[in-house]
Structure 1
Amino acid sequence: METGVMSHQGELFVHPLSNPGAPGICPEMLEVAEEANRARDFNLAVEIYSSQLADLQQPDRGLCLRKADSLARAGRISEALDSYCTAASLGKLRPEELPFLVENIARALREKEPGLTVAVNGHCKSSNGDDGFQMNGECEEDEALDLFSCRLCKCLLHEPTTVECGHTFCKRCLEDDSVKDCIHCKQKLSKKEKLPNGLRLNVVLSGLLDKLFATESRARKYWIEGEDLWKKQNLSDALEKYNAAVDLVPSSGRLLHQRAELHMEMRSFSQAVQDASSLCKLKPLWTKAHCLKATALSKAGRNDEALQEYFLCVALKPDWTKVKLEAQKVLSELFSSVFENEDLPTPVHPLQGGLATRLIKPPALLRSLRPLTQKPGSSSQDSEFSVTKSAPVDDSSSILPIVSPGKSDPAAGEGSTKNLADVLAALPAPTGGLKRKHSSDGPSEAFNTPSKLLRPDEASVFKKAAVWGGRTVPAELLDCGDMECSLCMRLFYEPVATPCGHTFCLKCLERCLDHNPNCPLCKENLSEYLANRGYNKTLLMEEVLQRYLGDELAERKKIHEEEMKELSNLNQEVPIFVCTMAFPTIPCPLHVFEPRYRLMIRRSMETGTKQFGMCIADELKGFADYGCMLQVRDVKFFPDGRSVVDTIGVSRFKVLSHGQRDGYNTAKIEYLEDKKVEGEELVELLKLHDSVYEQANSWFTSLKDNMKSQILSHFGNLPSKDPDPQASPSGPAWCWWLLAVLPLENRAQLTILAMTSLKDRLIAIRRVLIFVTRKRPR
């Protein structure tokens, strides 16, 4: 007999014929049948295959399989089983020969169970919006991920550790060498060996989780201890830890799943089945749970029950290749069992003769697929192929009926009484004869599924509750004291976590690091943290504050905004940098290293004004009564916190009152503008303006090359003459350029800066030019 591998044409698997040249086989008709399958006219293909088989003296195994596949794809499962059994009697069925039977039984399940349809169409969406099914077909999203879940292990955060980007994970998960990027933002994580003291847990979050979820935190601790013992192959001690964890949180799907796997490794298959059954009741739409139960049942030698779970897996996840292959393997073994284990007669031509000469199917197969062997209107007593009826299912069974074994399963529990036979009993049964038209008759009342099924809308609600639900935070356990900054003693605002695990308000931490590069609490050196300026907010802490302390956070934010508004008022309280002379339109680079000025520059950037005043020192008042506003163009930070600030002069001001804030000087000011002139005064002003400009240009041109190059490198070229000298409130830019490069003392420069008459300023500059020209060495 020919037993070659099936060929693949389009979407069809074509079984090879045992004897292609046998009398009665017509290749042209077989080609028509294959074309009918491609056109999805499966009933026509069945008719052709049946007529070809009827013309043969001995049935052809490949032809029987082709007919069986077409019957299965047409939804005529009962007749398909007859043909598969015939083929099995001629040669053992291989798993790869049964894909259509598995797929179509699973499809029948989906059509009859609205809850399964919702699960497949919805793809078991996880709480973060990702597809719950992985590429290997496993449904990763078994637990309801919430704010306090680690996105790496999908469990409650254990020893929460906040990384540079602000996201938080279990310390144990981050220690895994395979974790190189943040799963949220894809930012590269620092190498563990580069951290001076390794990964450090977030102290505030750790205490908060232990307080809010004390029981689950203890269970998670036992769970992790059990995993570590399991890795060391100390299985009995590991099981004790898992048992302790399950006692604390019996509804954890992942925990039950792992304990079931541990039972299987310890070869306690009945215990594994019990855990898997509990898991299926807990997570009825989780494919991985049903796969686990199927595997446990198979290991226990209960293949007929395992097959039912595999069918449900394929129904939930049609493209899960691994499970389909397992189902085909078990189904192949069930088909073969009758010929290997039972001494049953095989007729010369199984398709001929009456009921008494028909092939008898194996009892194990009947237990798994019994409703498919029944004809419309028949009962369990009047069919040779039937077995005892299923017991009615009470409406109080689980929301989505779970497949349970045909025989009593002590591990299944009371709520899991519905089996695959009950579900498939509602399928439309095939008509008696072979007709091209699909039977459209509805199922008989005798075969309606008695258990309560989910409507699609109900299934959606159930799915949403299961997947989107989260841990309940007891309101009485959470108070503001748990979320207070130890520096300002107020509720955290923009909380950031240091590498040593302590949490502070961003602004509080920055001010502390301005003075000392050590942690304010544990004194650990944070120089590298300061150098990287990795002040990213702890996102989990931020979310906790917004969700559970919203009113308190709103009040805290209001205070902060009022402070920012006050700081951004460039009339009432202008920050003053006491250093050097600055002039409008002239660049003024600054090297900032004092803590008070670090704070001042940072605030000017945060408020968005990007401005501050520059004044020279005054022995009596602290700083002079006149100055120039500077606009920040760029800031470059050094690793030790120092910075170089690129600024340019904007406008002049007069100090009305002196003050201080957080260590730096402030002032109430009024801005200065030149007084405009008209008529003859304007004509005289223009003549003076042109004259002084020519005088300034002549002086600059006459300078030695080395001095000229120094001026050009710092201040650039002499600005061009303005057509309208009064266009700017501060006067022509070339005046300020000249004042910045002329060798004058600060007090003399300050006097000219304070002038609000352009004429007076030009006269003063002319005097200086005359003086420096006379004094210049020849």
Structure 2
Amino acid sequence: MELEDLATEAFRRSNFELASDLVDRLLEERGQNIEFLLMKGDSLANMGRLNEALSVYSHAFRMGDISSDKLHNFVNALVKNLSQNAGRYISKDLGKFSCCVCRGLLSKPTTLLCGHTFCKSCVEHQSKRSCVICKFPYSSSGSKSKKMTLDVTLSELILKYFPSEVNSQEIKAAGNELFKLGRHSEAQEKYSLAIKTAPGDHLCLSNRSHAYNVQGLYKEALQDAVKVCQMRPDWAKGFYRKGTALVGLERQEEGMEAFSRCLTLDPSFHSAKVSLTKVLHTFLQPVDASSLKANELQRSPIFNKFHLDDVVSDGQEESSRVEEVAAEEEKEDEKKDESSPVKHNLNTSRTLDRRKFSPVDRKYTKKRLPSQTDEQFQPITDGSSPHTENQSKRFKKCPLSMLESRVSGEKEQVAKPGPGYKIPLDIIEKADFECSLCLRLFYQPTTTPCGHTFCRGCLDRCLDYSQACPLCKQSLTEYQASNREKKVTYTLLDLMETYLPSDYTERQLIHRKELEQVASHAFQDGGTIPVFVCTLALPTIPCPLHVFEPRYRLMIRQAMESGARQFGMCVADDENEFAEYGCMLEINQLEYLPDGRCVLGTIGGRRFKVLERGMRNGYNTAKVEFLKDTVAEGDAGSELRALNHAVYQQARTWFVNLPIYHQTRIVDHFGPMPQQASDPQSSFNGPHWHWWVLAILPLHPRVQLSILSKTILKERLKVLELSLTRMTNIPS
């Protein structure tokens, strides 16, 4: 493989240091080449050595015409360096009704399925179809559950609390439509009217600045952009507007600074990257020493103030390297006859000695003695270009310095919070935050794709009966299938906690008491429990369930939300709706189906006797007494242990003599036969094995229920012994 191919492969594999060293050897062997220099510059930029990269790019630009897209790697590295502080200086004090994308009052508020709310236009214009806060994916088209629909409740609140601002937004929207039609002067007038209606709206100022820019009125555009940056110093687009106006006024250095500030706040701002690339491309173009532009650049106060060595965070490290290289070059000058390239094994990770194989670095590296001042600083040149001397002077005070020193010098300004939108306290009413289903204050408000907001529990109960919005009847089948854990609408929740703290606290207490009623059976004997009327459940025996009735779906959801994870199971009874005795079931597995049904995995627990029947939320409840076996002691205990062992052996013999087919089905459903415990009375429900045998014996449910109700283990074992004897005597 040739050296050039090795360098390309090293760069492709992101081994930029090796690629840089290989390019040095290529330059040494084949002479100056634009492509090699660009690869060298890209490698240095990706390593974060921006000072050296800029020198290499400048040399490449003097050798021929180079398009601006060749600076892509350099600009990305520069943005990465600037973005190390991105997000640190963004104000979080936006007000309750502000959009965190445009930093303005929510316009056509849209609540995503993740619960975060933005302006509809901000959501639709995001390049990445995901929430900017939690990265939850969304789509502005396609499935109904992900379509962008206005949040009805928030829209009504904003209209009530901020009528002037809403009017201003409507005027601005009309201006936007005129701008799309190319009627820029008319759009500008609309923006001016919107600003007059709501003077504090920085978005209207930004739009008018843009309208001025496209009309070539850069001075007026700059005035508006400066105001935007003062009002919202944490909004990236304001600095982009400012940079565009400055470039239009041919104030390239300040424009570069504005674009860098924009990218510090938002590293993903593509238009700012493109603009910064163009400005850098302009600066890197060779300048005739006799031209007016060159004279202006040399007189620029910005160039006199900032130095290349102050550009990036690794400036001190690079300065040390510059002095090291300069000292090494002085030694090389004394030994001109000694020049032999260091051999490099391409199969190892060892890099070339950059001090001997970096001709570009040597030509454009500053020699600096400890006593020299900045004004005595001069680059070394080789006179290879008629513009070399002026080009070197140009980078003596390089505008790249502004991208760090100016941005870092104004961090305190960026850290100041901008104006927020606050609610007039005298017009806040509790009725503004009431659920249309329960007619109480929202608790855990959640917004559907159709834009309507309800308490999360109220919405779940409605969806148990119908997969449609309770208000507009739009289908929510897909929404229900993909969003079992419905997120709260954070803006509404924050508003209630801030402006109605006592009311919301009271609402929380009411909800907590309701859950405590559901969970009371898990904490005290004789509590009221929810009852599922279906089949006979037995202690320690698994009982899978498919829940589809709305009342039982609600019961399971409440059991899970309360933390009880239990409910009673009884068989149906013709006289009393459900039997007098039953068994608790504990949920150990829950899987929701797309249409709201669920499949439960449960296991039997304590037995109970029904004392009083009741009803709650459409399902049965019961006040119960939990059953415990009577303990046998002394001779009765010894007799019980002997009976337990004898019946166990009898049951095991009967089971192993069953056909293999039956044994397999029993084990698949109930598990293998449990082992015999040393003490059959160690559990208040008796030994595990005898419930297992009761579950697999083909007995009538009424017989099984009578065995379940007995609190004397000896009596249950006698019934099992009799049943097993009869089953054994049945001819196969």
Match of 1:167 in 2: 116
| 1:345-364 to 2 correspondences below 5 Å | none
> How many angstroms apart in 2 are the aligned matches of 1:143 and 1:710?
62
- What are the superposed Cα offsets for residues 134-162 of structure 1, whole Å, 9 maximum, x if unpaired? xxxxxxx6996444233344432221122
Conserved 8 A contact 2:233-2:414:
no
- 1:567 pairs with 2:518: yes
- Cross-structure match for 1:247: 196
CA change 1:652–1:264 in 2 (3 A) is same
Once the two structures are superposed, the pairs formed by residues 508-523 of structure 1 within 5 Å of their partners are 508-523=458-473
Distance 1:242 1:674 in 2: 83
How many residues are treated as equivalent by the alignment?
554
Candidates 556, 565, 579, aligned match of 1:610: 565
* 1:520 partner SS: coil
SS at match of 2:142: helix
1:142–1:286: 8 Å Cα contact kept in structure 2?
Answer: no
Q: Which moved more, 1:728-737 or 1:677-686?
A: 677-686
| Cα distance, 1:641–1:288 mapped onto 2, change above 3 Å | closer
Shift of 1:167: 1.7
Tell me the residue number matched to 1:230: 179
Give the structure 2 partner of residue 499 of structure 1: 449
Structure 1, 593-602 or 153-162: larger mean CA deviation: 153-162
What residue number does 1:589 align with?
544
Asked if 1:713 corresponds to 2:668, the answer is yes
Amino acid at match of 1:561: R
Change (3 A) 1:172 1:332: closer
- 1:756 aligned residue: 711
- 2:195 corresponds to 1:218: no
Distance in 1 (CA, whole Å) between partners of 2:620 and 2:563 is: 19
Deviations 1:455-507 (A, max 9, x none): xxx9988655434x422211122221111000100010011111111111011
Contact kept, 8 Å, 1:123 with 1:131, in 2: the verdict is no
Q: Which moved more, 1:731-740 or 1:214-223?
A: 214-223
For 2:596 and 2:233, the matched residues in 1 are separated by 56
1:143 and 1:253 in contact (8 A); partners too: no
Q: 1:636 to 1:144 in 2, by over 3 A?
A: closer
Residue deviations 1:549-577, cap 9 Å, x none? 22211110011111111211004211111
Q: What is the rounded CA distance, in whole Å, between the counterparts of 2:238 and 2:481 in structure 1?
A: 49
Q: Is the 8 A contact 2:145 2:449 kept in 1?
A: no
Secondary structure of 1:569's match?
Answer: helix
Contact 1:143 1:254 in 2 (8 A): no
Alpha-carbon deviation of 1:173? 3.1
Report if the CA contact (8 A) 2:445-2:453 is conserved: yes
- The equivalent residue for 1:735 is 690
Cα distance in structure 1, aligned partners of 2:536 and 2:302: 98
Q: Which residue of 1 aligns with 2:24?
A: none
Structure 1's 548 and 770: CA in aligned 2 closer, same or farther, altered over 3 A?
A: same
Partner of 1:475: 425
Classify 1:256/1:596 alpha carbon distance in 2 versus 1 (closer, same or farther; 3 Å). same
1:528-547 to 2 correspondence within 5 Å? Answer: 528-534=478-484, 535-547=486-498
C-alpha distance in structure 1 between counterparts of 2:301 and 2:210, whole Å: 28
How far off its partner does 1:710 sit? 2.6
In terms of mean alpha carbon deviation, does 472-481 or 175-184 score higher? 175-184
SS of the residue 2:417 aligns to: helix
CA distance in 1 between counterparts of 2:157 and 2:186 reads 30
Whether 2:582 is the aligned partner of 1:627: answer: yes
**Could you tell me how far apart the structure 1 residues matched to 2:370 and 2:461 are?**
86
- The answer as to whether partners of 2:91 and 2:234 remain within 8 angstroms in 1 is no
1:555 aligns with 2:506: yes
- Contact 1:615 1:626 (C-alpha < 8 Å) held by counterparts: yes
Percent of aligned pairs sharing the same letter: 40
- Structure 1 residue 613: deviation in Å? 0.8
Inter-CA distance 261–718: structure 2 relative to 1 (3 Å threshold): same
**Distance in 1 (alpha carbons) for counterparts of 2:133 and 2:682:** 54
Q: 1:574 to 1:682 in 2, by over 3 A?
A: same
Instruction: Specify the alignment match of 1:525 in structure 2.
Output: 475
The residue that corresponds to 2:651 in the other structure is 696
Shift in CA distance, 725/282, structure 1 to aligned 2, threshold 3 Å: closer
Gaps of 5+ in 1: 1-8, 11-65, 67-93, 95-120, 133-140, 342-360, 374-433, 441-457
| Bigger Cα displacement from structure 2, 525-534 vs 310-319 | 310-319
Q: Is the 8 A contact 1:307 1:331 kept in 2?
A: no
Per-residue Cα deviation, 1:239-259 (whole angstroms, up to 9, x for no partner): 232122221233333432331
The one of 633, 636, 642 aligned to 1:687: 642
Q: Aligned to 1:638, which of 571, 593, 601?
A: 593
5+ residue gaps, structure 2, are: 1-19, 22-54, 56-64, 66-80, 265-271, 306-368, 376-408
Aligned match of 2:325 = none
Contact between 2:91 and 2:415, CA under 8 Å: does it hold in 1? Answer: no
The structure-2 alpha-carbon separation of the partners of 1:226 and 1:773, relative to structure 1 and needing over 3 Å to count, comes to same
Counterpart for residue 34 of structure 1? none
What per-residue deviation string (whole Å, max 9, x for no partner) do you get for residues 83-103 of structure 1? xxxxxxxxxxx9xxxxxxxxx
Deviations 1:594-631 (A, max 9, x none): 11111111111111111111111222222112111111
Q: 724-733 or 631-640: which moved more? A: 631-640
Please, which moves more after superposition, 676-685 or 272-281?
272-281
Taking structure 1 as the reference length, the TM-score comes to: 0.63
Conserved in 1, the CA contact under 8 Å of 2:542 and 2:670?
A: yes
- 1:333–1:281 distance in 2 versus 1, CA, 3 Å: farther
Whole-angstrom CA distance in 1 between matches of 2:370 and 2:450:
77
Structure 1 pair 290/729, CA: closer, same or farther in 2 (3 Å)?
Answer: closer
CA distance in 1, matches of 2:164, 2:131: 28
Deviations 1:86-124 (A, max 9, x none): xxxxxxxx9xxxxxxxxxxxxxxxxxxxxxxxxxx9999
User: 1:646 Cα deviation (Å)?
Assistant: 0.8
Measure the CA separation in 1 of the matches of 2:284 and 2:93.
Answer: 34
Structure 1 letter corresponding to 2:166: S
C-alpha change, 1:158 and 1:292, in structure 2 (3 Å) is closer
Q: Contact 1:158 / 1:221 at 8 angstroms: preserved in 2?
A: no
Q: What SS is found at the alignment partner of 2:628?
A: coil
Structure 1 537/299 Cα, relative in aligned 2: closer, same or farther at 3 Å?
A: closer
| 1:166 shift after superposition | 1.6
Equivalent residue, structure 1, for 2:417: 466
The amino acid that maps onto 2:119 is C
User: Contact conserved, 1:293 with 1:309, CA < 8 A, in 2?
Assistant: no
List per-residue Cα deviations over 1:357-403 (Å, max 9, x = no partner): xxxx98x8899759989xxxxxxxxxxxxxxxxxxxxxxxxxxxxxx
State the distance in 1 between where 2:234 and 2:447 align.
39
Aligned 8 A contact 2:530 2:619 in 1: yes
Tell me the residue number matched to 1:150.
99
Q: Give the CA RMSD over aligned residues.
A: 4.2
Distance, in Å, in 1 between the alignment partners of 2:234 and 2:132 is 26
Q: CA deviation at 1:588?
A: 0.6
Q: Given residue 495 of structure 1, which amino acid in structure 2 is its aligned partner?
A: P
Q: Is the partner of 2:131 in helix, strand or coil?
A: coil
| TM-superposition CA deviations, 1:400-426 (whole Å, max 9, x none) | xxxxxxxxxxxxxxxxxxxxxxxxxxx
Match of 2:141 in 1: 192
From the superposition, tell whether residues 255 and 584 of structure 1 become closer, same or farther in structure 2 (CA, over 3 Å). same
Give, in whole Å, the separation in 1 of the partners of 2:696 and 2:570: 18
> When you count helix as a share of all residues, which structure comes out higher?
2
Give the residue type in structure 2 aligned to 1:244: L
Q: Which structure would you say has the larger Rg? A: 1
For residues 242 and 474 of structure 1, the distance between their equivalents in structure 2, rounded to whole angstroms, comes to 26
CA distance in 2: counterparts of 1:615 and 1:489, whole angstroms: 35
Q: Which residue of 1 aligns with 2:311?
A: none
Residues in 2 aligned to 1:681 and 1:143: alpha-carbon distance in whole angstroms: 74
Q: CA 1:713–1:572 in structure 2 vs 1: closer, same or farther (change >3 Å)?
A: same
TM-score (structure 2 length as normaliser): 0.67
Q: Is 2:97–2:106's contact at 8 Å kept on the other side of the alignment? A: yes
The residue correspondences of 1:88-107 to structure 2 (distance < 5 A) are none
